[in-house]
Structure 1
Amino acid sequence: MARTALLVIDMVNTYEHEDADALVDSVRTCLPGVETVLRRARAADSPVIYVNDNFGRWRSHHGEILRAALAGKHSELVEPIVPDEDSLFVVKARHSAFFETPLGYLLAQLDAERVVLCGQVTEQCVLYSALDAYIRHLDVVVASDAVAHIDPELAEAALRMMARNMSADIRRSHEISFDDSPAR
Structure 2
Amino acid sequence: MTESTGTDRTALIVIDMLNTYEHEDAEVLVRSVREALPGIGALLRRARDARAPVVYVNDNFGRWRSHHGEILEAALSGRYSDLVEPIAPDGDDLFVVKARHSVFFETPLAYLLGQLAVRRVVLCGQVTEQCVLYSALDAHIRHLDVICALDAVAHIDADLAEAALRMMERNMAAELRPSGEVSFGAAPSG
Q: Same fold (TM over 0.5)?
A: yes
SS of the aligned residue for 2:101 comes to coil
Q: Where does structure 2 lack aligned partners over 5 or more consecutive residues?
A: 1-6
Superposition TM-score, scaled by structure 1 size: 0.98
Q: Is the 8 A contact 2:29 2:154 kept in 1?
A: yes
Do 1:48 and 1:88's aligned partners in 2 also have CA atoms closer than 8 Å?
yes
| 1:177 counterpart SS class | coil
Residue-by-residue CA offset, 1:69-116 (whole Å, 9 max, x unaligned): 001110000000010000000000000000000000000000001000
User: What stretches of structure 1 move > 4 A for 4+ residues in a row?
Assistant: none
Please report the RMSD computed on the Cα atoms of aligned residues, expressed in angstroms.
Answer: 0.8
- Corresponding residue for 1:103? 109
Give the residue type in structure 1 aligned to 2:178: R
Matched, 1:161 2:167: yes
Partner in structure 2 of residue 10 of structure 1: 16
Q: Does 1:172 align with 2:178?
A: yes
Which amino acid counterpart does residue 156 of structure 2 have in structure 1?
Answer: I
* 1:140 counterpart = 2:167: no
Equivalent in the alignment of 1:117: 123
Structure 1 portions without partners, runs of 5+: none
Q: Deviations over 1:107-148 (max 9, x none)?
A: 000000100000000000000000000000000000000000
Provide the secondary structure at the position in 2 that maps to 1:131.
helix
What's 2:135 paired with? 129
- Partner Cα separation in structure 2 for residue 155 and residue 26 of structure 1: 11
Find out whether 1:21 has 2:33 as its counterpart.
no
Give the CA deviation at 1:181.
Answer: 4.0
In 1, the alpha carbon distance for the partners of 2:71 and 2:97 equals: 9
Kindly indicate whether residue 84 of structure 2 is the aligned counterpart of residue 78 of structure 1: yes
How far apart in 2 are the matches of 1:97 and 1:18? 22
Q: Contact conserved, 1:40 with 1:178, CA < 8 A, in 2?
A: yes
What is the DSSP-based 3-state SS (H/G/I as helix, E as strand, rest coil) of the residue aligned with 1:156? helix
Give, as a single letter, the amino acid of the residue that structure 2 aligns with 1:29: E
Q: How many equivalent residue pairs?
A: 184
Residues of 2 paired with 1:45 and 1:24: CA distance? 30
What code does the residue aligned with 1:171 have? Answer: R
Distance 1:43 1:19 in 2: 34
1:114–1:183 CA contact under 8 A, matched in 2: no
Q: CA deviation at 1:22?
A: 1.3
Counterparts of 1:21 and 1:167 in 2: how far apart (Å)?
Answer: 32
Using structure 2 for the length normalisation, give the TM-score: 0.95
